[in-house]
Amino acid sequence: MKTQKAATARVEITPPTGTPIAGNVRKDNKSRGVHDPLYCNILILDDDTTRVCMLGFDLIWLEEKVYMQLTQEIERETGIPVSNIIAWGTHTHSGPDTGLRMYGEPSDSVGKYLDNMIQAVTGGVKRANMSLQKVVLKVGKKEVAGLNFNRRLVKKDGSVVMNFEEFDTEDITGTTGPVDKELLTFSVWDKSDNLVAVLVNFTLHPAILVGYDWLISRDFINYLDEYILDRYDRRVVVLFANGAEGNINHLNYQDPDQGRNFEEAERIGKKLGEHVEESLKDSSLLDGRIRFVSEKVTFPLREITGDEKQWAEMVLERDKDLEEDQLDGIPDKTYARMIQEMSARKEKVCETVLQGMAVNNFALVTFPGEVYVEFGLKVKELSPYPYTMVIGLANSHIGYIPAKEAFSQGGYEVRTAWTSQLTVNAGDILVNLVNSRILAALLKQSVRVMERKASDNKYLHKDFHVSMNMLLTYIYDNFGRDALISYLVQFAGEYHKPLNEQLRAGNRDALVSYLKDKYEKEEWPVEISVSETEVEVSQQSCPAISHIVDKGEEPCPYYRETYNTVYKTICEGTPYEYVLEYFDESTGACRQVFRKREDKR
Amino acid sequence: MISCTEFIPAYSEGFKFIDKKKGRREVERFWRYLSDLYVKDRLGRLVAEEGLEGCFTYWSQALNEEAADFRMVFNGIKGEFRSEMRRCPSKGMLNSLKYMEPYRFYCDHCPALYGPVLQKYGFKYEKDMSKVDKASCSGVIKAG
């Protein structure tokens, strides 16, 4: 099995009370306290060739500026290249407001929080990086029904309403798209088969709580985590990574009594925990190298239309005295403010990074924002890896990436804002980039093909000298010197029969050609002088002995017989006799003479 | 000196010699000796370092140096290494030496040498030897 190593760490990143809470636009969004602490869960993987660092943050997401600052700091402190660091937000809507652009520049408290967080997480990675241990990797998956829902509902008149908005259940005919029911686990086990870490991938907005009671929380992830720690070991590090959750949340429109409180977060988290446990039990081994790909890519930005600019001006005037205050979604005034900010920018594209990792039949790919589930499912369908994780909200946040159809249907995710800034075909661009640049590159590493014709190469496998030496040694050790010589006589008698016949017929040139050809193929310097009565061969060393010694082996006793016996056998019954005039046992330097026998008649 | 380009007939004659001395079991003992001494240090080391992919590394060097006509695929997703020897340089050379009789179990040395080493690392080596008389064979190595 390929050696795999891993290290883990868990760094608390709970913000101080009073820090604004992300994921909602309320007038007063300052946190009042902590329901459960937030973490950055760290997993470092290494296979002696590639080192990858995964960072799962209990945050709404990481802005590009923060991602760059963090990864550069980690690279400086640990040597793990920026390109090999995958950082994502779990997307809890009850964490600090790190979605900077959505609400303007960060407040002082968020800015200070981010600086401290970067230092703390870098320290955690640095410590983990020094404690890599040998591990076994496994992958598993389960289908999860009834926990995640497509949040875009279709009304009888064909219009679309979000499942967190007002609607009459009787008026709903279904949803605009599918859900991804797959839950995947990538787990790390120590040599004694104890769970060390698990990366859980499931597609679901952690927006059950949305700053419930103004308390900081990981949302349902807290309960999922607790479930696993209770079942296995409190030291296990659980990394939750969301999927393509752009249009997926927990709200079942057919259940009007569904709560949005800690009880509901607990119900969902524990249920997911049970599925994780089952997936871990059915996991299969991952053996092989870690393949990793990282690509910088760009996405075209949506142009702000004249109508949008006019609308923004109108709203800002109309709502100038209104506070921006809304739990789900975004108020008009906030949209209008963002449209004005966006129309002032000069950039036509936004830059981000896509990453992919594969081990054996498992792969993960990253999505840089909140992507509609349709695109996540498409990537899974295109992937040659049976276990493919799509990790959303990774590395930076470039906003929602909705399906094209959604733009004519309307709804929260398509309205132009910092959270929805890309062209309508961004989803197709993303799938194409992931498929052609990430999955294709991983596949190229995972599946290697070599095809050759005999004529493509020269026939020269020097290691055959080592094998030959082992054959000679075996015969000598087991049957003795005489047997060794008998074997060489047998070989030379059989193999060199045609040459022997040529020599018997007096064809000395056949011998000379044979010798020249042999040394030429060996690419070995030799002096061959030919006279009327003699063919003399002198060499400074033997190619066979040189290779055997180079490989740390010892030539077989009587190795000289591969000259002496073999050539004497070739000369048997011919007008030539063979004399090994000199032979250095350690180097094989020698002088050999094929001499015409004196005519005794 | 027996050149490395003359090794194959020397090898075949070696098997014949040992077989004549002490029978087929002794030949198998010799193959095991080669497997432990030669293959373990080479293929074994690569498989220990690279996993199944070590097979690709090992044979990509050996088969190119032997000028074989082959196609091999390491499929890290399926977890298998497949090789198709369209013309084995060893058996092909022996077949071309019409004046010599190759050792009748010559091709058996291949699974005998590699099988035990791969087994040690949890891999199973399956060979299709039905076309060895035409110097052609194929094999699959996977976990098992």
User: Tens digits of per-residue pLDDT, A438-481?
Assistant: 999 999 999 999 999 988 887 788 889 999 999 999 999 999 99
Task: Report yes or no: B25 and B41 within 8 Å, Cβ to Cβ.
Answer: no
Strand bridging mode B137-143 / A576-583? unpaired
Lowest mean pLDDT among A45-49, A110-114, A539-543: A110-114
For residues A396 and A574, the model is more confident at A574
Note the helical H segments in chain B.
7-22, 24-34, 45-50, 53-65, 89-96, 109-120
* pLDDT of amino acid A401: 97
Q: Where are the domains of chain A?
A: 4-301+347-446, 307-346, 464-596
Give me the total of CB pairs closer than 8 Å, taking one residue from chain A and one from chain B: 189
Instruction: Tell me the CA distances in angstroms from A372 to A166, A199, A367, A411, A433, one per residue in order.
Output: 22, 21, 10, 13, 16
CB contact under 8 A, A544 and B2: yes
- The helix-helix angle for B24-34 and B109-120 (nearest 10°) equals 50
Q: Measured between CB atoms, which of A447, A467, A490 is closest to B17? A: A490
**Residues of chain B positioned with their CB less than 8 A from the CB of A563:** 1
For residues A212 and A151, the model is more confident at A151
Q: Please, which residues bridge with residue A88 across strands?
A: A56, A394
* pLDDT of amino acid A403: 97
Q: Which residue has the tokens 């057919």?
A: A254
Q: Measured between CB atoms, which of A384, A454, A464 is closest to B67? A: A454
Q: What percent of chain A has pLDDT over 90?
A: 85
**Residues of chain A positioned with their CB less than 8 A from the CB of B66:** 457, 459, 461
* pLDDT of amino acid A104: 56
* pLDDT of amino acid A327: 64
CB contact under 8 A, A471 and B10: yes
CB contact under 8 A, B3 and A386: no
Contacts of A402 (CB under 8 A, 6+ apart): A246, A247, A372, A413, A414, A420, A427
**Residues of chain B positioned with their CB less than 8 A from the CB of A449:** 71-74
pLDDT beyond 60 at A348: yes
Q: Measured between CB atoms, which of B56, B64, B65 is closest to A448? A: B56
What is the overall mean pLDDT for chain A? 94
Task: Report yes or no: B46 and B118 within 8 Å, Cβ to Cβ.
Answer: no
- Give the model confidence (pLDDT) of A234-285 as tens digits: 999 999 999 999 999 999 999 988 888 999 999 999 999 999 999 999 999 9
- The helix-helix angle for A64-78 and A108-129 (nearest 10°) equals 30
Question: What structural domains and CATH numbers belong to chain B?
Answer: 4-143 (3.30.1380)
User: With bands split at pLDDT 50, 70 and 90, how would you rate the model's confidence at A601?
Assistant: very low
**Residues of chain A positioned with their CB less than 8 A from the CB of B124:** none
State whether the Cα torsion A21-A26-A32-A35 is positive or negative.
negative
- Give the model confidence (pLDDT) of A541-578 as tens digits: 999 999 999 999 999 999 999 999 999 999 999 999 99
For residue A135, give the nearest of A238, A291, A358, A286 by alpha carbon: A286
- Give the model confidence (pLDDT) of A160-183 as tens digits: 999 999 999 999 999 999 999 999
* CATH code for the structural domain at A464-596: 3.30.1380.20
Q: Select the residue from A457, A469, A523 to test the B interface by mutation, using most B Cβ atoms within 10 A.
A: A457
* pLDDT of amino acid A303: 93
pTM of structure: 0.89
* pLDDT of amino acid A245: 98
**Residue A354 and residue A366: Cα distance in Å, rounded?**
6
- Give the model confidence (pLDDT) of A7-28 as tens digits: 999 999 999 999 988 866 677 7
- Give the model confidence (pLDDT) of A470-519 as tens digits: 999 999 999 999 999 999 999 999 999 999 999 999 999 999 999 999 99
- The helix-helix angle for B89-96 and B7-22 (nearest 10°) equals 80
Query: Taking chain B (144 residues) in consecutive chunks of 10 residues, what is each chunk's mean pLDDT?
Result: 93 98 98 94 93 95 90 97 94 94 96 96 94 95 90
From the centroid of its chain, how far is CA B67? 14
The two tokens of residue A214 are: 């103004």
CB contact under 8 A, A468 and B30: no
From the centroid of its chain, how far is CA A469? 44
